[in-house]
Amino acid sequence: MSREPSTSVPTDRPEALKNFVEGRDQFNAYLGKGGSGELQEASRLFEEAANSDPDFDLAWFYHALTRVELRDSRTAIRELERLVDKGVDFLPEAYLQLAYARTKTYIDEEYYKAEQELERATAEAARASARELEPVIEAYRVFLYAVMGGRLDRADVQRRGDYLDKAIRLGEMNLRRKLRRRERHSVALIKMELHNAVGIAYMWKGWWVAEAFSKQQEKFWRLASNHFQQALALRMNPVRVHQNLGTLLQLQGRQFQVVKGEGHLEEAEDCYRSAIREYEVAITLNPLDQFPYFELARLYARLAQWELAQERFTYGRLQRGEPKSVKWERLERAIAERDASILDEE
């Protein structure tokens, strides 16, 4: 006998339901094609649905998801915390998204909170027998460890290495694990997240742990590139993967510039130009994200293309994003003084 379908409509306001389902339609289109227009429209529709019915928890939840994707993690965290406190009936998902939103703030304290939220998501998923959430939680955990390993401000090399090792071990284990039968695109999305996260971990391991230009570093970066390529193959227009590829190329260029110096500036510039291509793709797909503008402005500054650097800087400042204000100020000063060495100041 087939299972009786669920019949709970989460709102009793027709206007709210209408906006919500249209928002879901747009959000699904964004998940499928990666278009930022659909993402923005989805966010607006979810917000309208939530405003029509303030008790429409699911609309708030989806609104928070779109805010994270639009680099507005602060709003998302606020809304998700309220849902979690309210004890909504989709707690595992709410905790999971809260963890993701905290990770995407790229702030040290939030990483540790994100780790706790993931533990809560696991516990709530077990309580709700939502086993299908397990691989998603694991994918987000891998991502969190990869980010912590790469970005923890006050971490020593040893700690970074530990987080990166954990991310790689857990990620590769999950990539090998056979996922249970589910919708094909859902499997693809989870695998894409895992490849992306493992790629990030290898990328930072090559930068932080391995010796510059060593065989080990070459291996780590080759693996990182492979994982990013596989992630690209699994989903149409994955903005974050393009950004990560840009970051990898930028790190390779920096290494030529910093470690090898004068005689290798051409190799460095080649890497920068490849990185620029990836960031430009990311901006084409999502012109609302501040991060690629910031990175492009820095790259153009390193290539002494000051007009382009200024243009990217100006657009970037208009968007939301995670780069900290101190970095923006440093970039602004470098462009104003036409001195790229300011970018490397501590």
Footprint of other proteins (CB under 8 A) = 1, 4-9, 11-15, 17-18, 21-22, 24-25, 27-28, 31, 58, 65, 68-69, 90, 93, 96-97, 100, 132-133, 136, 139-140, 182-183, 185-186, 189-190, 192-193
Return the number of other C-beta atoms located less than 10 Å from residue 7's C-beta. 5
CA–CA distance, 105 with 172 (Å, rounded to integer): 25
**Shortest spacing between CB 23 and other proteins, in angstroms:** 8
**Shortest spacing between CB 86 and other proteins, in angstroms:** 16
Burial 275-296 (b: 16+ CB within 10 A, else e): bbebbebbbebbebbbbbbbbb
Looking at beta carbons only, is 29 or 342 nearer to other proteins? 29
**Shortest spacing between CB 139 and other proteins, in angstroms:** 7
**Shortest spacing between CB 169 and other proteins, in angstroms:** 21
**Shortest spacing between CB 136 and other proteins, in angstroms:** 5
Structure tokens, 11: 């709102």
Looking at beta carbons only, is 179 or 209 nearer to other proteins? 179
CA–CA distance, 117 with 174 (Å, rounded to integer): 20
**Shortest spacing between CB 189 and other proteins, in angstroms:** 5
Place of tokens 């939030």: 110
Looking at beta carbons only, is 113 or 185 nearer to other proteins? 185
Question: Residue 182 — φ and ψ, nearest 5°?
Answer: -155, -175
Residue 113, burial from CB neighbour count under 10 angstroms (0-12, 13-18, 19+): middle
Looking at beta carbons only, is 29 or 343 nearer to other proteins? 29
CA–CA distance, 312 with 321 (Å, rounded to integer): 14
Looking at beta carbons only, is 110 or 193 nearer to other proteins? 193
CA–CA distance, 147 with 160 (Å, rounded to integer): 10
184, 315, 314, 196: which is closest to 244 by C-alpha?
A: 196
Looking at beta carbons only, is 103 or 252 nearer to other proteins? 103
